[in-house]
Amino acid sequence: MASEGDRCRWRLAPDALETGPFVHVAACSALPQIISLPHAIATCRNWPGPGSERCAVRRHGGAAEPEAFVPVQDFTLDAYASILRAGLDAGYEFYPVFDWYDLDAPKGAGIMLRHDVDRRPGNALKMARLERDLGVRSSYYFRSLPCSFVPDIIKQIRDLGHEIGYHYEDWHLARYDPRKALALFEDHLARLRTLAPVRSIAMHGSPLSRENNMAIWDHHTFTDFGVIDAILSFDYTGYVFFTDSGRTFAPSGANLRDYLGNAGTVAGVGSSNDLGAWLRQHPGVRVQINVHPERWNDPGAAWLRQWATDQAANTVKRGLRLVRGTNRAAKPEAT
Instruction: Rule CB under 5 A: say whether 294 interacts with Zn ion.
Output: no
Which residue, 99 or 118, has its beta carbon nearer to Zn ion?
118
- The nearest distance, CB 117 to Zn ion, in angstroms, is 8
CA distance 12 to 10: 7
Alpha-carbon torsion 242, 246, 247, 248, what sign? negative
- The nearest distance, CB 188 to Zn ion, in angstroms, is 14
Nearest-CA neighbor of 42 among 16, 50, 55? 55
- The nearest distance, CB 87 to Zn ion, in angstroms, is 23
Q: Please, which of residues 100-119 interact with Zn ion by CB under 5 A?
A: 116, 118
**Length, in residues, of the chain:** 335
Which residue, 41 or 291, has its beta carbon nearer to Zn ion?
291
Which residue, 76 or 144, has its beta carbon nearer to Zn ion?
144
Which residue, 73 or 138, has its beta carbon nearer to Zn ion?
138
- For residue 274, what are the CA distances in angstroms to 17, 108, 142, 217, 262? 27, 23, 28, 36, 22
Instruction: Rule CB under 5 A: say whether 170 interacts with Zn ion.
Output: no
Which residue, 74 or 244, has its beta carbon nearer to Zn ion?
244
Stretch that binds Zn ion, among 41-49, 127-135, 198-206, 314-322 (CB under 5 A): 198-206
Stretch that binds Zn ion, among 54-62, 202-210, 221-229, 274-282 (CB under 5 A): 202-210
Q: Please, which of residues 312-331 interact with Zn ion by CB under 5 A?
A: none
**What character string, x for contact with Zn ion (CB under 5 A) and - otherwise, covers 127-156?**
------------------------------
Which residue, 99 or 116, has its beta carbon nearer to Zn ion?
116
CA distance 74 to 66: 22
Nearest-CA neighbor of 11 among 63, 62, 66? 66
- The nearest distance, CB 26 to Zn ion, in angstroms, is 40
- The nearest distance, CB 23 to Zn ion, in angstroms, is 35
Alpha-carbon torsion 126, 132, 135, 140, what sign? positive
Stretch that binds Zn ion, among 89-97, 197-205, 228-236, 272-280 (CB under 5 A): 197-205
Contacts with Zn ion by CB under 5 A: the residue count is 3
Q: Give the end-to-end CA distance of the chain in Å, rounded to a whole number.
A: 36
Stretch that binds Zn ion, among 40-48, 203-211, 270-278, 325-333 (CB under 5 A): 203-211
- The nearest distance, CB 279 to Zn ion, in angstroms, is 24
Instruction: Rule CB under 5 A: say whether 204 interacts with Zn ion.
Output: yes
Is residue 107 within 8 Å of residue 92, measured between CB atoms?
no
Which residue, 116 or 131, has its beta carbon nearer to Zn ion?
116
Residue nearest to Zn ion (CB): 204
CA distance 167 to 203: 5
Which residue, 204 or 286, has its beta carbon nearer to Zn ion?
204
- List of long-range contacts for 235-239, beta carbons under 8 Å, 24+ apart: 235/261, 235/262, 236/260, 236/261, 236/262, 236/263, 236/288, 237/261, 237/262, 237/263, 238/262, 238/264, 238/286, 239/263, 239/264, 239/285, 239/286, 239/287, 239/288
Which residue, 45 or 119, has its beta carbon nearer to Zn ion?
119
Q: How many CA atoms lie within 13 A of 131 on its CB side?
A: 28
CA distance 277 to 302: 27
CA distance 85 to 88: 5
Treating both helix axes as pointing N-terminal to C-terminal, what angle do 77-89 and 121-133 enclose, rounded to 10 degrees?
A: 40
- The nearest distance, CB 116 to Zn ion, in angstroms, is 4
Query: In the complex, which residues of this chain contact Zn ion (CB under 5 A)?
Result: 116, 118, 204
